[in-house]
Structure 1
């Protein structure tokens, strides 16, 4: 029996999908007027909206540099 290397990972381990990617550019650390949890809440709202629009969201700062 032969196995495809691409399918050896569990689905939850595979970060790639067939959806187009929407890159998020946003602050991720706290500032004097906006603590870090504010940005985490904003990110949650944005990710939900992006997913509902048929895209996969990714922070641009998390991108693999190639």
Structure 2
């Protein structure tokens, strides 16, 4: 059996099974009980500093009097 045929047979059988198992494992991990808080926190993270910017970063550029 040549190399291509051997690798093709492996990819069509065992690798397919392995990738399906990895996919199902990721689904189970994402939908596990108790992960709701972590997912809600990640979803709301873009709004965390909406009203008051986070400190410690570079200072904001000064506004001209026309913009204020």
TM-score when normalising by structure 2 = 0.29
Higher share of residues assigned helix: 2
Higher strand fraction (1 or 2): 1
When normalised by structure 1's length, the TM-score is 0.30
- Larger relative CO (CA 8 A, sep 6+): 1 or 2? 1
